[in-house]
Amino acid sequence: MDITKSYNEWLANAVDDADLISELKSIKDDENEIHERFYTSLKFGTAGLRGIIGAGTNRMNIYVVRQATQGLANYVLSKYGKGSVAISHDSRIKADLFMIEAARVLAANGIKVYITKELEPTPVLSYLVRYFKCQAGIMITASHNPAAYNGYKAYGEDGCQMTDVAASAVYDEICKLDIFKDVKIADFDEAVKSGIIEYVDDSVYDSYLEKVMEQQVNPGICKGADLKVVYTPLNGTGNKLVRKVLDKIGVADVEIVKEQELPDGNFTTCPYPNPEIKEALQKGLELCEKVQPDLLLATDPDADRVGIAVKDYDGSYRLISGNENGVMLTNYILSCKKSNSTLPEKPVVVKTIVTTKLIDKLCQKYGCELKNVLTGFKYIGEVILNLEKKHEENRYLFGFEESYGYLSGTYVRDKDAVVASMLVCEMAAYYKKQGKSLAQVIDGLYEEFGYYLNQTYSFEFDGAAGMKKMEEIMTTVRNNTPSDVAGYKVVKVSDYFLKKEHDIVSGTTADIDLPTSNVIALHLEGDNAVIIRPSGTEPKIKLYITSVGKDKDEAHSICDALVKSSKEILGIK
């Protein structure tokens, strides 16, 4: 790639966005800055595009968005002959502009576009794809990345994020295109006037909320519970719909974190708006100390994930992990549906392979089938799709992943913080009426099943040498499986790359019926586990540790030993 040539082409052609021209002129004598923007192109994958906002092929801007959308249009037209696409956006910088530019490209290609009037949550986009029977969907979001980022998530006709096959086909189409010459563009106002671009009517969002409300386990339970909630949308899309649904179920006492209430792509109150980190919840926790609610809710900018904190025994607020919230919600749904005789025959719960094994215990207790899938909520959506094909979608009860994503119901095919927020409040009200806090609920589950501690650790390997070292580590573990980790015997090995599971105790081997993924899980005695997963996009290896003790201290002690031993096995200092 001739980086200087690319830079000059952009300087001559990127005239539709004054910000880009200004940026390009400001770096004309800075080779490093030019190189950063042009040495590569953002690659379109199953998560679409994601990158820093700015000028160049390695940045998020209207030209990269247009090129990606032309590739998507070519894919839709070649596969379906014609089609429609739903588009929305969150609160990120230039997200509304990117949505409009994507709509212009689709309209110019004769593809019907359903566009939202304002920012909406990611699960709403998934709903729109299914509601309008679209062939694809686009959500302009970078989820919980820092403010400098934006992104472009692509969805298939089932409302799930695109599969590997579809994303690869779109990427092939993108690669054929000159970013300036080969993209069709329609006039936006004319396209709206002609009807090829159509704004989504408010009644559609009402129908989405009706579907959310159908997921109540104990309708009316919140009324009279005097549940007090602090809520922060983290300057994102959850503000309207989360508050609406809480009002509908009878949660009247909701205090909003004012600094994080309104959309703001600068996310000035935290380093990045991720409900997994305490810094993002800090403003909410400060308000909790003042108003003393039962519960803190925090939805991320595109409102597909929710984090919570609950009032602890001493009056302080305890952060609840994604695993813990998922365990409580699963237990709440299963136990209540069993007691009120609404549990379907052969119920199904779905979790990712790196999500807590405590769910296994709950599913055994309630006679529920548990399906394990690869990391990525599209795989949970795939389970729903397969049940739907057999007219058994009513068997699906709940799906979740450790990274704070949850879904009850089959009306969307992505994680949904709106329904999760509703169910968390309903669950809190249910137990409050019994005189229990959610802190007592999770501790009670630990007392019943053992303290399951789930911790994730990342180790970086720099540059090309680092990527090679990661390959060597995975090959070594794959070919020389340890007999124990920290003295805990390896009883089973699941290799998701070879798609084989070897039970060391019985000496049997079974096939793994999941897509290929470079992940190795070492299942240890005592239900402990070590899962090793290199990142496909960054020079990092992640360790997912499960340690099980009779109490918190013992679980942490076992975890420390497993981490130390795992690092020795992997040759990490």
Report pLDDT digits (tens) over 126-168: 999 999 999 999 999 999 899 999 999 999 999 999 988 999 9
Let me know: does 216 contact 426? Beta carbons within 8 Å: yes
Give the model's pLDDT for residue 89. 98
143 annotated active-site: yes
β-pair partners for 460 = 540
Let me know: does 523 contact 435? Beta carbons within 8 Å: no
Give the model's pLDDT for residue 360. 96
For residue 335, give every residue at least 6 positions away whose Cβ sits within 8 Å of its Cβ, in sequence order, or none.
Answer: 366
CA atoms within 13 A on the CB side of 357: 21
For residue 3, give every residue at least 6 positions away whose Cβ sits within 8 Å of its Cβ, in sequence order, or none.
Answer: 34, 35, 38, 39
For 176-211, b where at least 16 C-beta lie within 10 A, e where not — what string? ebebeeebebbeeeebbeeebbbebeeebbeebbeb
Return the DSSP state at 394: G
Let me know: does 327 contact 356? Beta carbons within 8 Å: yes
Q: Which residue of the set 143, 408, 494, 517 is catalytic?
A: 143
With CA atoms as reference, report the closest residue to 123 among 446, 345, 411. Answer: 411
Q: From CA 116, how far away is CA 199, in angstroms rounded? A: 6
Q: For 376-379, which contacts have Cβ atoms below 8 Å and span 24 or more sequence positions? A: 376/46, 376/161, 376/352, 377/160, 377/161, 377/304, 377/401, 377/405, 377/407, 377/414, 377/415, 378/46, 378/160, 378/161, 378/162, 378/163, 378/413, 378/414, 379/352, 379/514, 379/515
- Whole-Å CA distances, 53 to 45, 365, 376, 404: 18, 49, 25, 26
Q: For the chain, which residues score pLDDT lower than 50? A: none
Return the DSSP state at 162: P
pLDDT in tens, 447-502: 999 999 999 999 988 776 787 888 899 999 999 999 999 999 999 999 999 999 99
For residue 277, give every residue at least 6 positions away whose Cβ sits within 8 Å of its Cβ, in sequence order, or none.
Answer: 270, 271
Record the pTM: 0.96
Let me know: does 350 contact 408? Beta carbons within 8 Å: no
- Whole-Å CA distances, 177 to 71, 156, 369: 8, 22, 46
